Chains A and B, each alone.
Chain A
């Protein structure tokens, strides 16, 4: 087994373990920490695929900025442990069958999939440059629309925070 394969399985195990732990833990901070593990493990997998920029951005934006806000809010609210309740009836009769179907469909598609042109281990020259060129030529409209969407969200947050009661 090559080093890449071993690393992939280690990272995949970390991501899956973190995701499982996120659900199992009762304390919000522990769940948030598990989510950070998932995100960092995903960044590692991006690195294995040769997408250095994506890996760095994944850590800066998700594991850094967004999760810091999550943790900050949990700490600020001083949220305690969640209580376990017995599973609801809707979850038993609707959730479980849907989960089985979703897993089956995903598994089937992945098993059927052919390796794409950007298969793992392939050399992609200048990913940052290629990505930026695509972002500012072919995809400039959706890119700018997303920016405006985020701007609207920020403005909304400011308006809500400034509201006089």
Chain B
């Protein structure tokens, strides 16, 4: 066994990384739906999920089980192969992009140097765009194969929308590539070192605005969710989908949201870097993960002991103690260095995801012609101007 580990250690590390990231992403996707329902509910003065488990925390599991056991009818006249294939394609592509994200710097785990990412690539930025370019097929083929006018219209809308906004999205990161001379996401993160004022959302502010707006459009989210506008298109491209095939489209949308949040934080907000400069006077910030875990855990125990159901009074304190324990473990020297990168990345991703949900709770859906005009006549020229401006600055600052 030890001989196998010594010779195949790399494979083992890769398998562990893939499993951790995949299961982590699935969990985030499941609880993102709970988070969205809760936040939107509170925006609209409602409670949101409350009944299934304390604070409705077991709702995602109940939803998953419900999706598994629902009837899965295939309507007449559908293109069977494409109808089955589209949700798989959508979900697989949406969950692939996370593989090239840098989740943390190179750290030592049990004395072995490990890159905190599933895989490393010199062109990881382009890999992300390549997978995004393919992800339009899931939605548009699903809409076409359903043999339903509303589905077809939804699929067509999303194909046109994703095609239009993909251009602006790709052009908006050219500024960053010009500044860093690299297509590697890890190198882009490393170029934003030494404090929050070096993050690219300041010099690349217009690029950031373009990227975020077009990324929201790429993921078919409010205010750009015309592909599933229920007033005019019933459910849009997934009208004919039920049971787990619908769940796959649903999960693909949320996985794409998570991916976009990762991309925004990596490209414009320093990825896994701490917002504080790396000087001894800021070493206390290494204890922030511990502080977060312990304070959150104690608060959960405090609230849980007074929760209004007996089950909640049992579960919540236990979860709180576990959370506080995890937080305390983050103070161990070996864990502390490893946890810094993922902690800051997770914090940034969480803030961006909250922003996403906040937009859904606030903004109305825009009209289709407005969507097209906005993409082609405003975002694309703005991103092109950003490329020109950045090139000029880079050229002037280059040593002759």
Q: Which residues of A come within 8 Å of B, CB atoms?
A: 27, 29-30, 33, 36, 40, 43, 52-53, 55-57, 59-60, 63-65, 68-69, 71-72, 75-76, 78, 128
Contacts and interface: CB of A to CB of B under 8 A. Distances in A.
B208 interface: no
A69 B163 contact: yes
Contacts of B170: 60
15 contacts: A33-B82, A36-B137, A40-B134, A43-B130, A52-B123, A56-B130, A59-B134, A64-B133, A65-B163, A71-B140, A71-B159, A72-B159, A72-B160, A75-B152, A128-B183
Contacts of B40: none
- Which of A55, A59, A69 has most B Cβ within 10 Å? A59
A75 B155 contact: yes
Nearest to B133: A64
Contact of A29 (B82, B130, B131, B159): B82
B163 A72 contact: yes
Contacts of A75: 140, 144, 152, 155-156, 159
Given A53-B123, A56-B127, A56-B129, A72 B134 contact: no
Nearest to B131: A59
B129 A52 contact: no
A72 B160 CA distance: 8
B173 interface: no
Nearest to A51: B123
A33 B86 CA distance: 11
Contacts of A56: 123, 126-127, 129-130
A68 B79 CA distance: 18
Contacts of B134: 40, 59, 63-64
Nearest to B127: A56
Contacts of A55: 130
Contacts of A64: 130, 133-134, 136, 166
A100 B195 CA distance: 66
B362 interface: no
Contacts of A78: 152
B50 interface: no
A29 B122 CA distance: 34
Interface string B172-208: 0000000000010000000000000000000000000
Contact of B129 (A30, A60, A69, A76): A60
A72 B156 contact: yes
Contact of B136 (A43, A52, A57, A68): A68
A52 B122 contact: yes
B27 interface: no
B133 A59 contact: yes
A36 B140 CA distance: 14
Contacts of A40: 134
Closest 4 CB pairs of A and B: A64-B133, A56-B126, A59-B130, A52-B123
Nearest to B181: A129
Given A52-B121, A52-B123, A56-B130, A71 B163 contact: no
B32 interface: no
Contact of A60 (B126, B140, B155, B162): B126
B399 to A, nearest CB: 18
Contacts of A59: 130-131, 133-134
A128 B122 contact: yes
B141 interface: yes
B8 to A, nearest CB: 13
Nearest to A52: B123
Contact of B159 (A30, A63, A68, A128): A68
A40 B131 CA distance: 11
Contacts of A27: 79
A53 B126 contact: yes
A69 B163 CA distance: 8
A55 B129 CA distance: 12
Given A75-B155, A75-B156, A63 B123 contact: no
B130 A71 contact: no
A65 B133 contact: yes
B323 to A, nearest CB: 41
Nearest to B145: A29
A147 to B, nearest CB: 14
A60 B130 contact: yes
Contacts of B130: 43, 55-56, 59-60, 63-64
B163 A68 contact: yes
Given A29-B144, A59-B131, 11 more contacts: A33-B141, A56-B129, A56-B130, A59-B130, A59-B133, A60-B170, A65-B133, A68-B140, A69-B163, A75-B140, A75-B159
Interface in B123-169: 123, 126-127, 129-131, 133-134, 136-137, 140-141, 144, 152, 155-156, 159-160, 162-163, 166
